[in-house]
Structure 1
Amino acid sequence: MTHIFTDDWENIKHFQARPDDILIATYPKAGTTWVSYILDLLYFSQTRPDRQTSMPIYERVPFLENKKPNHPSGTDLANSLDTSPRLIKTHLPVQLIPKSFWEQKCRVVYVARNAKDNAVSYFHFNRMDSVQPEPGDWNSFLQNYMEGQMAFGSWFDHVTGWWERKQSHPKLHYMLFEDMVEDTGREIDKLCSFLGLTSTAAEKEQIRRQSQFDNMKKDDMANYSSAIVMDFKISPFMRKGKVGDWKNHFTVAQNEQFDVEYHKKMNNTTLHFRTEV
């Protein structure tokens, strides 16, 4: 973990969750902003429509472990939220989540993305985000990714750790990025069912349309264009949002090596991913 995610550790560790908090948990670049945006619309598009046009998504849904210099910490932003529920995001592996989220029996929405597309997206993100470690070239980055030498650790440990927790924690909803791309409306229906929301069909359809990738990419309150640590000249924060872009990056040799490593590390889990839709 880089220092910006550990500098506020005591406050993160002892963060006091509330029973109605909703924690959005992901490995980086797995659809965090997409699900955050959808949840914000589900809860507040009718009662607080001004939020969507006046507050960037990273203020509406604070990043719990974030501690950038000269910025409010994620814990401070979360504690200052005036909404009920509070929507809070994290990239922490399951074993590092503040205990209060479990003690308060909070609902958790976890989103996972197939490892190949996730690696590509994380590579381009590291190129454009100045607070991330330098990614090096694509091949070096991919080797580090397979070894788990990443901020927030191993993708393999992250997705399987949360999957195992789901088996014993009924308030954890596990989503797959590929399912969301395939049928966003269906996944919004599942979210509403999990959260006990009774949005109308018309409201859900409006949210489905609004949360399509091309619409979010043009929305300055959602696309992180106001985040000064990101250099959009190198790569946009929202780049493609597709399933299968890994085929434009992996060589045949890299793909073969990755498949061997993948099967070794994912051999003992019931969790399955699609690398194309």
Structure 2
Amino acid sequence: MFDFEGISMTRCFTDNWEKVQNFQARPDDILIATYPKAGTTWVSYILDLLYFGNDDLERQTSQPIYMRIPFLELCFQEFSTGTEMADNLPTSPRLIKTHLPVQLVPKSFWEQNSRIVYLARNAKDNAVSYFHFDRMNMVQPEPGDWNSFIQKFMKGKNVFGPWYDHVSGWWEKKQTYPNLLYLFYEDLVEDTGREVERLSSFLGLSTSVEEREKIIKGVQFDAMKQNNMTNHVTLPFMDFKISPFMRKGKVGDWKCHFTVAQNEQFDEVYKQKMKKTTVRFRTEI
């Protein structure tokens, strides 16, 4: 990990940087933006089904989600770069995902007035999920034990930078950029149907009740965990013997990880880091 444009990064997200920054967005593109482990694959799959669930069954059964929805800044030797994959997408609209903080998003997305869906997850559950992800993902930095990971998280020394700046930066952008829908992971867990309706409305899509019910059923956590097109089991650099990519998908699992002392310290740091923003999170539902 190294400091890059003011945040912690690894080479697999910076080696193609010039092409990322010069990426040409289109007016009908939909950018899915999240901090890592905030429900990216979940909201990606919902969008994929909303747009293409009816007319392309082969796409759903033969192409993993990471091929259908390219990861813009990704640059691995084993794969085409994210920018290449996005440029070669045959779909309209193109669904593209990013973990970049708002200030590093290619400017063409703003210039083209592309629609953006941001999904945010409460810091405690997000930290737990990120910890287990770093344990099983061989291209991420070694997380160490839980206590050292949580100290690092509070200092903002994770890949893609501090959670605090990420969620509040995108929240501020929402105030001035109307084509941005800001969703919360906890709301999706609480009432998936309601949030799917919000998404449909934002995107100007009309879906029938039957279609929506089918989508809601398909995007339930257990269904996605069993689905080899969404569970990332086909990626060679993830060690599923250590942890699955989709682990629990619950709100409040942080209580199984944080000690009382860690929780008190975390709350103190959180209060300081988030005092200037109006975005509010639920840590249980």
Which TM-score tier does this pair reach, normalised by the shorter chain? over 0.9
How far off its partner does 1:69 sit? 1.6
Distance 2:76 2:263 in 1: 35
How far off its partner does 1:46 sit? 1.1
Q: 1:166 aligns with which of 171, 174, 184?
A: 174
Give the 5 Å matches for 1:1-277: 1-277=9-285
| C-alpha RMSD of matched pairs (Å) | 0.5
User: Which secondary structure does the structure 2 equivalent of 1:178 belong to?
Assistant: helix
Q: Percent identity?
A: 67
User: Which secondary structure does the structure 1 equivalent of 2:118 belong to?
Assistant: strand
Distance 1:24 1:34 in 2: 11
How far off its partner does 1:246 sit? 0.2
User: Which secondary structure does the structure 2 equivalent of 1:157 belong to?
Assistant: helix
Distance 2:232 2:166 in 1: 25
How far off its partner does 1:262 sit? 0.4
Distance 2:80 2:21 in 1: 17
Q: 42-51 vs 24-33, which deviates more?
A: 42-51
How far off its partner does 1:89 sit? 0.1
Residue ranges of structure 2 left out of the alignment (5+ in a row): 1-8
Structure 2 residue identity aligned to 1:77: M
User: Which secondary structure does the structure 1 equivalent of 2:183 belong to?
Assistant: strand
Distance 2:55 2:192 in 1: 23
Structure 1 residue identity aligned to 2:158: M
Distance 1:56 1:71 in 2: 13
User: Which secondary structure does the structure 2 equivalent of 1:42 belong to?
Assistant: helix
Distance 1:197 1:49 in 2: 19
How far off its partner does 1:268 sit? 1.6
How far off its partner does 1:50 sit? 1.3
1:102-145 CA-to-partner distances (Å, cap 9, x unmatched) read: 00000000000000000000000000000000101100000000
Divergent runs of 4+, >2 A: none
Distance 1:143 1:91 in 2: 21
Distance 2:181 2:174 in 1: 7
Structure 2 residue identity aligned to 1:101: F
